[in-house]
Structure 1
Amino acid sequence: MTSAWVSSRLGVRLTDGPRPVGAGLSSLVGLGVRRNPRRAHLLVSAVLGKHVPTDPRLVYGSGLLLGELVRARLRGEEPVHPGSLLSDALGGVPGAAAGLRDLMRAPRVPVDAVVLGYAETATALGHSVADALGGAYYLHSTRRPVPGFATYGGFEEEHSHATSHLLLPADPAMLDRDVPVVLVDDELSTGRTVLNTIETLHAVRPRSHYVLAALVDLRGAADQARMDDLAARLGTRIDAVALAGGHVELPEGILEAGQALVAGLSGGSVGLGGRSLAVARASLEWPTGLPDGGRHGFLPSHRTRLEKDLARMADVLAAELDDVSRVLVLGFEELMYAPLRLAEALADALPSVDVRYSTTTRSPVLAVDDPGYAIRTRLVFPSHDDPADGPGERYAYNVAPGSGQRGFDQIVFVVDDAGDTVALAHGLLERLRALAPVLVATVPAHRRDS
C-alpha cells in the first residue's frame, strides 16, 4: 500500500514493528486523510476489503490467519505460519491469495469462544476469525436498531465520526457462557475502545480470558500498560494478537494541518457522467432462516449451512455475467461477510476473471487521484436504509477508476432487503450504472420471526 502522498504533505510516517506472519505494517496499510475533526489520518488496509477493491481470497485468508493466531493463543500452541503466502498475495503473485485462503481453512481442532466484531469495518473480519476458531459464536456490533432485539450492551468508539454501537443478540445466553471472549477490530490504535468494551462486558458477566485481535497493532508502551492494568484490576487475563505491529509517527499540529489540507482540495468525488448502463437483479435464493451475518449472532451451524450453498449462489451470479474480465462485488456498510464469501466463491467459479471485493461506508475520507495516495476516487450518494441517526451521505471508494486505471466490466451489489429501497435505486445504483452494468443481489435481513 502507498503512503507517499500523505507522508510528503502531512509528515505522517509508518514505522514497521513485529511481523509474526511475514508481512510488515507498511505492506498491510497505506495512509489516507479523514474528513473528521477527531483524527486526521486513516489507515487504509490492503486486506480488509473496505476502501480498496481486493481479491476476496486475500481478504478472507487474512481474516482466517488472524483467527489462527487467536486459536493458537487460546490453545497455548504455535500458530500455523503462512510462509511467504501473505507477502506474495500482497505483491500480486498469481495463486498466492487462493493458497493463503486454502492453507488457513484447513481443518484444525475447534475452539469454543465468543467473538465480537466492531461495526462497521470489522464485521467480516470478526466473522473470519470466528470461522478459524471452528466452534465460536459470533456477534458484531451494529448502528442499526432492530425491532424485537434487546440491547445487551453499547460502547463508544473514541475516534469514530459515528459512535453509537449496539449489541443485539437473538439469544443473550450465548454471551453469558464461561468461555473466552475475542474482540476483533481492523486496527488497535490506542486500544481504548476494546478496553471500554471489556469493562462493560465484565460488569455484566466476569470472564477469565479476553483476546484482542486486529490486523495491525499500533499501541505504544503506555497503551499496553493500560491493558495490563485493566487485567489486574478486573482479575482477568487480556492478550493481544495482530498480523503486524508498528506505530504511526504524527507531527505536532496534525489535526489542524489535516483539516486545512481537506479544505483546500475538492475531494475527488466522481460525477454521474453521461452513461446509464443496465441494472439487473439476481435471485440468490438465500437459504431460509440463515442469518445474513452476525448482527444478531452467527453459530458454527450457520457457517456450515452457508458453506453448502455458497457455490450454488456463486453460480447464480456467474450465469448473469457475460463477457467480463474484471468484476467488483460490492457490499453494503455493515453487510460485509455475505458479499465477501459470495465474492470468494465467484472468484473460484470464474478463475479467468479478476474478481475484487469492497464495501460502501459511512466514513468520509478525502479522495485524491494520485498514484501515491491510497484512495483515488469516491462516489457520494444518500443513505438508503432509513438509518436511526437520520439521513446522510454514504461513500464508495476506488470503485470508479483513477487516471490511468482500468475500470470494472460489471459491478455486483450485494445488499440486504432493509437497504434495497427507492433511495438506493435513485442514489447509489445511478452512480454505479454510470460506470458499469450493475447486478443487484438482495439477501434477507435477519428478523426476530426468521
Structure 2
Amino acid sequence: MNTWNGAWVAERLDVRLVDDERPFGVGLSDLVGLAVRRNPRRAHLLVSSVLGKHVPTDPCLVHAAGLLLGHRITGLSDATVAAASSALRAALAGPDTSAPPVDVAASAALPNALAASPPAVVLRDLLRVPVAPMSALVIGYAETATALGHSVADALGGAVYLHSTRRPVEGVAPYGGFEEEHSHATSHLLLPADRALFETAGPVVLVDDELSTGTTVLNTIRALHAVSPRDHYVVAALVDVRGPEDRARMAALADELGARIDAVALASGRVELPPDILRTGQALVAATASPDPPAAVVPACPVVRADLGWPGDLPEGGRHGFTPEHRERLDKELPEMAARVADAIPGGARRVLVLGFEELMYVPLRLGEGLADRLPRADVRYSTTTRSPVLAVDEPGYAIRTRLAFPAHDDPADGPGERYAYNVAAGTDPSRAFDAIVLVVDEAGDTPALESGLLARLRGVAPVVLATVPVRSPASRREGR
C-alpha cells in the first residue's frame, strides 16, 4: 500500500493509526498517511491516498473512491462489495508491487474484459454501473471535499449537489454558515443559486474527507435543521476516526432533533496522540522547516492555453448548485474537452499532472480521468492547490515531499495570503518528475497574479497547459447566461 503511511511522523511525534472497521478490506494506513501541519491548533494532518488533494493520485482512483463512498449509502450486493474490495486493494498497492490481480470471479458484474484494465479503472467502471437514482441533497465541504462530494452525488444518481465556499458573491445572501474549528480558514458559506435546492426530497448527505471529531458536521446539521428541518441526515467520510465521546455527541444531537443521523466511511479507527502533541509538533516544524525549492536556473518552460469549449450554460461545479442534468451534460462534453487538452500537451509526455485550484476540484478531476482514458500509455495524476500550510520534508516515508508557495491569485474576500502546491516538484527523486502540467483554474483565478505567482513556479517544473473554466454566478444563472 502507500509508502508514506506515517512512519516518519510516528517516529518523531508518537502518533499512531489504529484500525477498526474495514468494510472493503483496507484500513487507515492504506487510505491515509501522516504529515505535520504548520498550524498552532492542530499538529497532525491525515493525508489521503485517494483524495488527490495534497498527493498527485490516479484520477480514476480518486473518482472511484468517491463513488464507493456514495455506494455505502445506496448499498451494494455482497458480490459487488467483494469485487470492489479486490480492485481497491490492487489499485492502492500500485503498479510496482506484487499485489494479487483483481478477483474477476468475485462478481458477475465484473466481466473479464474489464478486469484486463488497470485496477483503478476496473473499480471506477464497476461503480459506474447504473443504479436506481436516489434523491438527496449532498453538501460537500470546501475546500478539501468539493470533488469528493460531487463523486458521492454521482453515485446516488438523483442527488442535487452543493458545496460550501469561502468565496462570497455580491448581492447573494448565504443560506447558512458554520465553522470548522481546527481549520486554517474557518468561514464557510452556502450560496445556492436557487434556494429550492433545499427542498430536494430525501436525506441531506454531508461529505468530508475525514470525520475527526464530528464538530463541523454537527454545526452544519444544527444550522440547516434550524432553517429547514429534516428527518434524516447522513455523514459520509473517507475515514472516520471519531472517539466514543464524539459518537455519543452525534447520537445525542439526533435525539435532540428527533432525526436520524447515520455515518458511513471506507474505513474507521482512531488516531492515538500524545498529550503534548501541539508543543512537540510546533517544535518539529521549527526544527525541520526548509525553504521552497529554488527557482529554476534553466529557461522557463512554455505555457500554452487550451480552450476547453466549455458550454455557456454549464456550471463550473457545485459552488451554487449542480443537478443530475448538469452531470449528464458534463459527462457528454468531457471526451471532447479532454481531447482539446490532450492536443495541447507536449508530444512524448509520459507523466502528466492535472492540477486543480483550491475549491475547483471536480472539473480538473474529471478532465484528468478523460486524459487517462485518452492517453493510456501516460501516467496521469491529479491534485490541487490549497490554502493549507503543511510542513514539507523530502523523505520517502513522509506524505508531503515538496511544496511550491505562491500568493493567492483570485482576490480572496479574506485578503491576500500564501497558497501551496504540494508534491508537484520532484525534489530529490527524479522518478517523481512530471513531463507536463495541466493547470485548471476558473475565471476568477485567471489573473496577472496567477501569471507572476503559481504559473511562474510551475514553469520552473515542466511545460504548462492552462485551461480556464468560466464562472457562472447565481445572478448569471437567474438571467439565463
TM-score (norm 1): 0.97
Q: Tell me, yes or no, if the aligned pair for 2:33 and 2:48 is still in contact at 8 Å.
A: yes
Alignment of 1:159-198 (within 5 A): 159-198=182-221
Matches within 5 A, 1:39-118: 39-72=42-75, 80-81=80-81, 82-93=84-95, 95-118=118-141
Contact 1:68 1:79 in 2 (8 A): no
Are 1:13 and 2:16 an aligned pair?
yes
Letter of the 1:57 counterpart: C
Q: Whole-Å Cα distance in 2 between the matches of residues 389 and 404 of structure 1?
A: 37
By how many angstroms is 1:21 displaced?
1.4
Q: Does 1:381 align with 2:406?
A: yes
Tell me whether 1:357 sits opposite 2:360 in the alignment. no
Distance in 1, Cα, partners of 2:133 & 2:380: 30
Is 1:280 aligned to 2:283, yes or no?
A: no
Q: 2:318 aligns with which of 286, 294, 307?
A: 294
Q: 1:79 to 1:164 in 2, by over 3 A?
A: farther
1:212-235 Cα distance to aligned partner (Å, 9 max, x none): 000000011111111110000000
1:268 shift after superposition: 5.4
Bigger mean CA deviation after superposition, 280-289 or 354-363: 280-289
How far apart in 2 are the matches of 1:147 and 1:341? 29
What are the within-5 Å matches in structure 2 for residues 368-407 of structure 1? 368-406=393-431, 407=433
Give the letter for the 1:92 counterpart: G
Q: CA deviation at 1:404?
A: 2.1
Question: How many angstroms apart in 2 are the aligned matches of 1:356 and 1:268?
Answer: 25
1:201 aligns with 2:224: yes
| Structure-2 separation of matches of 1:215 and 1:269 | 30
| 1:422 counterpart residue number | 448
> Over residues 306-349 of structure 1, what are the superposed CA-to-partner deviations in whole Å (9 max), with x where a residue is unaligned?
00010000000111121110000000000000000000010000
Q: Distance in 2 between matches of 1:64 and 1:295?
A: 20
Aligned to 1:431: 457
Q: 2:434 aligns with which of 408, 432, 450?
A: 408
SS in 1 for 2:158: coil
Do the aligned partners of residues 304 and 431 (structure 1) sit closer, same or farther apart at CA in structure 2, a change above 3 Å counting? same
- C-alpha displacement of 1:287: 1.2
Is the Cα contact below 8 Å between 1:268 and 1:366 reproduced in 2?
A: no
Q: Is the 8 A contact 1:187 1:214 kept in 2?
A: yes
Which residue of 1 is the match for residue 98 of structure 2?
Answer: none
Match of 1:136, SS? Answer: strand
Question: SS where residue 298 of structure 1 aligns?
Answer: coil
Q: Is the 8 A contact 1:14 1:246 kept in 2?
A: yes
SS at match of 1:143: coil
Partner residue of 2:173? 150
Q: Which residue of 2 aligns with 1:335?
A: 360
- Whole-angstrom CA distance in 2 between matches of 1:446 and 1:71: 31
- Describe the superposition over 1:10-54 as per-residue Cα deviations: whole angstroms up to 9, x where unpaired: 000111111111211110000000000110000000000000000
Give the counterpart of 2:351 among 301, 326, 329.
326
Question: Do structure 1's residue 440 and structure 2's residue 466 form an aligned pair?
Answer: yes
SS of equivalent residue, structure 2 residue 288: coil
CA offsets 1:250-307 (integer angstroms, 9 cap, x no match): 0110000000111112245222121311011000010111000000000000000000
CA distance in 1, matches of 2:319, 2:227: 20
Q: Percent of counterpart pairs with the same letter?
A: 66
Task: Provide Cα deviations, 1:48-73, integer angstroms capped at 9, x if missing partner.
Answer: 00000000000000000001001229
Aligned residues: 447
Partner Cα separation in structure 1 for residue 209 and residue 196 of structure 2: 27
CA contact (8 A) 2:135 2:201 kept: no
- Alignment partner of 1:31: what SS? strand
Kindly provide the amino acid, as one letter, of the partner of residue 303 in structure 1: R
- Root-mean-square deviation (CA), in Å? 1.3
In structure 1, what is the Cα distance between the partners aligned to 2:369 and 2:290?
31
Output the CA distance in 1 between the equivalents of 2:430 and 2:256.
53
Listed one character per residue, the Cα deviations across residues 334-379 of structure 1 (whole Å, up to 9, x for unaligned) are: 0000000000010000000000000000000000000110110000
Is 1:252 aligned with 2:275?
yes
The question of whether the paired residues in 2 share the 8 Å contact of 1:216 and 1:245 is answered with: yes
Is the contact between residue 268 and residue 377 of structure 1 (CA under 8 Å) also seen in structure 2?
no
What is the CA–CA distance in structure 2 between the aligned matches of 1:120 and 1:261, rounded to whole Å? 26
Residue 132 (structure 1) aligned with residue 155 (structure 2): yes
C-alpha separation in 2, matches of 1:323 and 1:127 = 32
Letter in 2 for 1:184: V
Q: Distance in 2 between matches of 1:214 and 1:136?
A: 17
Instruction: From the superposition, tell whether residues 423 and 311 of structure 1 become closer, same or farther in structure 2 (CA, over 3 Å).
Output: same
Distance in 2 separating the partners of 1:267 and 1:164: 30
Deviations 1:135-183 (A, max 9, x none): 0000000000012432100000021010000000000111134421000
Give the match for residue 263 of structure 1: 286
Contact 1:286 1:444 in 2 (8 A): yes
Which ranges of structure 1 fall in alignment gaps of 5 or more residues?
none
Aligned residues of 2:137 and 2:201 also touching (Cα < 8 A): no
For the 8 Å contact 2:49–2:57, the answer to whether it is kept is: yes
Deviation string, structure 1 residues 103-139 (Cα, Å, up to 9, x no partner): 1111011100000000000000000000000000000
What amino acid is aligned across from residue 410 of structure 1 in structure 2?
Answer: A
Distance 1:444 1:21 in 2: 38
